[in-house]
Structure 1
């Protein structure tokens, strides 16, 4: 196997970046970037810690993050599985990266920066939904923001309903868990999961 090990060798293969690839990177939100981020209900949050990397899906009604100002985003940490992998990383290494998707759009937004975890009561209650609020909020300071080349989304054709997988052809969550632990009760898990998820969404 021939392996690339230096930046110089990579540049020899890929050449120079285009002007558009360079000028699209800004250190704060432009009005256009703001519109794209406000339209996104889903993102992937990447974090790094001393012993592990993590990439966590995040979704919400409407916009997945709230724009506080041109250089600050707030991401509520709604109920999940309590592994808190992302949060454990952030308290030890504040570097974060966000990739935001907008359903129907081939444009992907990227944000790199640093984050803190806030439990300020006023901030928590400002995200209240159905009488519930997140236990913490990830506050992201933007270091750089830009949009990603659309080719990946276009190649994947991910918004085309004709390309959607039939869920019945895929393993259920219970099946995945049973594959990890042979005596896991997958039938009861799959039967109870939809109702449990609906009751613990927020």
Structure 2
């Protein structure tokens, strides 16, 4: 029989209370080490939620330092060409709260930032976000409300950075997955061409 947890009291009874260190590590202002982390990070996960509570997590990646520090309480993330679904952006318009996790390859700890976001269509700092001639058409500007470093346990348990555990061929190629799951009418040859070498060469073209 499934036993559901339905109250904060039940949850705390099961998990126990957080340590004083875990509670006290929260900050609301960027430390110099946070700036250094952001300067070294080429990848983050952006979590948003719509007005109805529906959630989205979107990966964002660029050369290290793509998250631009504007001041001790504000950072900005550039838009890059994608599938134009704009799920996270639409969520931000309805609900500005978001969560970010910044990774550095090989590191088993992460930097977490929670805050409030707004979409900016232009600003002087956009010129600092130029990559391969691509100037973003918008940026997500985040006011930091909570920042802290997250422990290493998830990465150690998953062995994420251990090359001997990697299995990139455990599933079919990207092209084959698209044909099987999303677009069976397209030819495999066309999909393999789309996701071949040219795909990586056109990352900053709309």
Report the TM-score, using the length of structure 2 for normalisation: 0.91
- Give the structure 2 partner of residue 112 of structure 1: 114
Instruction: Quote the RMSD (CA, aligned, Å).
Output: 1.6
- Number of residue equivalences: 201
- In the alignment, the residues of structure 2 paired with residue 130 and residue 33 of structure 1 have an alpha-carbon distance, to the nearest angstrom, of 26
- Alignment correspondent of 2:19: 18
Alignment-derived partner of residue 65 in structure 1: 67
| Offset of residue 173 of structure 1 | 2.1
Question: Can you give the 5+ residue segments of structure 1 that lack an aligned partner in the other structure?
Answer: none
Query: Which has the larger displacement, 187-196 or 61-70?
Result: 187-196
49 and 141 in structure 1: CA distance in 2 versus 1, 3 angstrom threshold: same
Q: 1:198 aligns with which of 187, 190, 201?
A: 201
Aligned to 1:36: 37
* Distance apart, 1:56 and its partner CA: 0.2
Q: Distance in 2 between matches of 1:185 and 1:50?
A: 39
User: Which of 119, 123, 133 is the aligned partner of 1:131?
Assistant: 133
Gaps of 5+ in 2: none
Which moves more between the two structures, 174-183 or 13-22?
Answer: 174-183
Q: Give yes or no for contact 1:43–1:64 (8 Å, CA) kept in 2.
A: no
In the aligned structure 1, how far is the partner of 2:28 from the partner of 2:140?
A: 19
Displacement of 1:168 in angstroms is 3.5
Q: Distance in 2 between matches of 1:186 and 1:7?
A: 50
